Every structure is written in C-alpha cells, then in structure tokens.
C-alpha cells in the first residue's frame, strides 16, 4: 500500500500534467446533468489544434486520476491496515484510511478508502488534498474480477517545478469500471465530471466517457473517448468524440482511428489516421472545417503524435511499475 500511495505522485506527474493548458461513509456526489449544446467556441484555423489536444489531454488527466483509485484497491482481497502519515521524499506526508463498511475484514462492495496528501513534495511535484475512492461493486470472474469505483476530490492542489507551469486545483467525480483478466485490462469511465483550474482560467469536462482496452493476447489496444469541454483558454465550449476508435499495437501510436471536435457555427476539427500519416506511425492528420461546408480550411498532414498524447497511454500497463519518486 505504501508503494502505491507514494507512487501516485509519479503517476500524476507523468500523466496528469500532460493536459494542463470528506471522510467517513458518505457517498460520492452524483455526476452533473448533461451539458447544453456547444456555444461560444468556433473552431478556427488558429485554435483547432489546441481544441484537439485539449480533448485528448483533459480526458487523459481525468483517466489518470481515476486509475489512481483503481491502483489503490485492484489487487486487494482484504482490508489493509491504515497507512499513517508517511514522509514524502522531500517534505510533507501522505496517509490513507480504509472504511470496512460491514466489518468483515474483506474488500467488498460499499467499502472505501480516503487518501490524504499533506503538501507532499516528491521533488518535481507537490500534492495537497483529499481523494476518496468508493467501491460500488466487486464481481469475481472466472478469469479475473470486475470492480466499479467512484473517485472523488474537491479542491485538490497540484504544484509542479516544471518551468512555466501554473498551480492547478482539481475537482472531479470519476465513476470507473475496471475489468481485469489474465490477458486483458479494460477501463471504462462513464458520465464523469472533471475540472482543472489555474490562475489563467479553468477547463471543465462534462459527460466524459473513456473506454480503454489493452489486450495482451493480441498485443493490441482500443481507445475511445467523448465529452464536452468548457475551456477558459478557448473562451467557450465544444464537444468531442471518437467516430472511429483508436487502435494499434501496444507500445506504438495508433494505426487507425479518428476524433472529431465540434464547435459553434458548424465548425468541425478532426484528428485522424489518414493520408500520409498512415505511413508514419508517429504522426496523425489534423484538419479543420470552419464553416461546415465539408471542405478543410487548414490541414496538417503529419502532426507529431507526441505533441498530442504521451506514448505511455498506449503502452502496456502491466509492464509499468508505480514506484515512489
């Protein structure tokens, strides 16, 4: 448990910041109602790449935080001892406390864990706040188990030493269902809400859905996402969805797939494995139709995937070890 808890800082540092442009038995709050149609943000030749990158990046931040909750409980069969305040690598501390709802000593439905970072400084990242993980369901499978969780926080503060990066305040409700078998891992977020705020403004996600399958029998993955972004940086709201799931070989960027972002004025941008990008595994096409006439007004045929999304998301999680920094 100590390894997982301290390792959370490493996971957030490696994933969450890519996108940056109460205790007891109470239940997590319900997700917000569906958002209104997009308004305020027309996708243009000057902002469409930011919109596409924000779609991927914000969804990644939400997913990485939900996965922290999965890591805390996925391998447990019994309720572990509480982790008292444990020193972080540089300063501050981290602690965790489990709630065994039926007092049977086993991890099962309605149990919970509360994690607290108290100005936990790992050297590059300082975390401060509470994160609660509620176990909504646990179903044994013939070849593994399925766990339904809700990961929640309010006012969680993240500060990094990365030059130019601003402090961030996180607020989210992330329902996630994790299915593990001997040959696969699948993570499904549904109707999640996620807000990431800095001094320059806040980016909010509503009705976020993410579905990531890693199939180790075929060494492949499938990744899809959708939701609505309300961005202070882009001065408005737009929707996004994968019209074709991104697929590929584990450890490589996608070889197929398409994401479409939709803004006001019938504007549409897409990130797609098509054209010359099909021949280069490290690039993807980015384009925008600013007025809905079906014609591209700007195209980048070979945008580097690394500027959109980290390769770690398409790498086998079974090969990744979360350790203290």
**Entry pTM:** 0.83
Give the 3-state secondary structure of residue 307: helix
Question: Is residue 167 a contact partner of residue 198, using CB atoms and an 8 Å limit?
Answer: yes
Question: How high does pLDDT run on average in the chain?
Answer: 84
Over pLDDT 70: what percentage of the chain? 83
Q: If pLDDT is split at 50, 70 and 90, which confidence band does 21 have?
A: very low
In the prediction, which pLDDT does 320 show?
56
Q: If pLDDT is split at 50, 70 and 90, which confidence band does 84 have?
A: confident
User: How do residues 285-299 score in pLDDT, each as one tens digit?
Assistant: 999 999 999 999 999
In the prediction, which pLDDT does 209 show?
92
Number of domains in the chain: 1
Q: If pLDDT is split at 50, 70 and 90, which confidence band does 205 have?
A: confident
pLDDT(272) > 50:
yes
Decide which of 321 and 240 is more confident: 240
pLDDT(219) > 50:
yes
Domain annotation covers residue 66: yes
Domain annotation covers residue 324: no
User: How do residues 118-136 score in pLDDT, each as one tens digit?
Assistant: 999 998 899 999 999 999 9
Domain annotation covers residue 284: yes
Instruction: Give me the mean pLDDT over the 53-75 stretch.
Output: 89
Question: Is residue 205 a contact partner of residue 58, using CB atoms and an 8 Å limit?
Answer: yes
**Bridge partners (DSSP) listed for residue 150:** 134, 175
Domain annotation covers residue 210: yes
Q: Which residues contact 246 (CB under 8 A, 6 or more apart)?
A: 222, 223, 224, 254, 256, 257, 259, 273
pLDDT(9) > 70:
no
Question: Is residue 306 a contact partner of residue 281, using CB atoms and an 8 Å limit?
Answer: no
Domain annotation covers residue 323: no
Site of tokens 């202070």: 232
Helix axes 2-15 and 48-73, enclosed angle (nearest 10): 180
d(CA 106, CA 185): 23
Question: Is residue 97 a contact partner of residue 125, using CB atoms and an 8 Å limit?
Answer: no
In the prediction, which pLDDT does 40 show?
65
The domain in which residue 224 lies consists of 2-22+34-315
Domain annotation covers residue 65: yes
Site of tokens 């690598």: 89
Decide which of 321 and 55 is more confident: 55
Domain annotation covers residue 224: yes
pLDDT(233) > 70:
yes
Domain annotation covers residue 8: yes
User: How do residues 85-118 score in pLDDT, each as one tens digit?
Assistant: 999 999 999 999 999 999 999 999 999 999 999 9
User: How do residues 158-169 score in pLDDT, each as one tens digit?
Assistant: 998 888 777 888
Lowest mean pLDDT among 185-199, 215-229, 233-247, 274-288: 185-199
pLDDT(216) > 70:
yes
Burial 62-72, CB ≥16 within 10 A → b, else e: bbbbbbbbbbb
Q: What phi, psi does 224 have (nearest 5°)?
A: -135, 155
**DSSP for residue 241:** E
Over pLDDT 90: what percentage of the chain? 61
In the prediction, which pLDDT does 232 show?
79
Site of tokens 């593990």: 180
Instruction: Give me the mean pLDDT over the 272-282 stretch.
Output: 95
In the prediction, which pLDDT does 230 show?
86
In the prediction, which pLDDT does 25 show?
37
In the prediction, which pLDDT does 254 show?
96
Q: If pLDDT is split at 50, 70 and 90, which confidence band does 7 have?
A: very low
As given in the structure block, the two tokens for residue 67 are: 């996965």
Instruction: Give me the mean pLDDT over the 130-143 stretch.
Output: 95
* Of 250, 193, 187, 243, the residue nearest 216 (C-alpha): 250
Decide which of 322 and 154 is more confident: 154
Decide which of 295 and 29 is more confident: 295
């Amino acid at each position: 448990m100590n390894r997982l808890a301290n390792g959370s800082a490493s996971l957030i540092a490696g994933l969450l910041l890519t996108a940056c442009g109460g205790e007891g038995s109470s239940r997590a709050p319900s997700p917000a109602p569906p958002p209104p149609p997009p308004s305020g943000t027309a996708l243009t030749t000057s902002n469409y790449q930011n919109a596409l990158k924000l779609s991927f990046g914000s969804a990644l931040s939400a997913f990485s935080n939900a996965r922290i909750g999965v890591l805390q409980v996925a391998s447990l069969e019994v309720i572990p001892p509480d982790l008292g305040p444990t020193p972080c690598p540089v300063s501050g501390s981290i602690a965790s406390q489990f709630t065994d709802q039926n007092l049977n000593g086993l991890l099962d439905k309605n149990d919970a864990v509360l994690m607290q970072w108290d100005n936990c400084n790992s050297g590059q990242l300082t975390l401060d706040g509470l994160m609660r993980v509620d176990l909504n369901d646990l179903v044994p499978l013939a070849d593994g188990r399925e766990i339904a969780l809700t990961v929640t926080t309010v006012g969680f503060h993240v500060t990094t030493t990365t030059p130019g990066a601003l402090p961030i305040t996180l607020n989210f409700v992330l329902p996630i269902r994790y299915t593990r078998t001997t040959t696969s891992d699948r993570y499904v977020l549904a109707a999640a809400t996620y807000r990431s705020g800095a001094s320059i403004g806040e980016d909010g996600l509503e009705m976020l859905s993410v579905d990531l399958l890693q199939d180790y029998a075929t060494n492949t993955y499938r990744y899809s996402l959708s939701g609505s972004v309300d961005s202070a940086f882009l001065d408005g709201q737009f929707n996004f969805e994968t019209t074709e799931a991104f697929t590929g070989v584990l450890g490589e960027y996608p070889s197929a797939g398409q994401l479409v972002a939709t803004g006001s004025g019938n504007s549409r941008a897409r990130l797609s494995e098509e054209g010359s990008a099909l021949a280069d595994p490290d690039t993807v096409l980015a384009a925008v139709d600013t007025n809905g006439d079906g014609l591209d007004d700007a195209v980048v045929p070979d945008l580097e995937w690394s500027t959109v999304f980290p390769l770690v998301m398409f790498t086998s999680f079974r090969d990744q070890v979360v350790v203290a920094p």
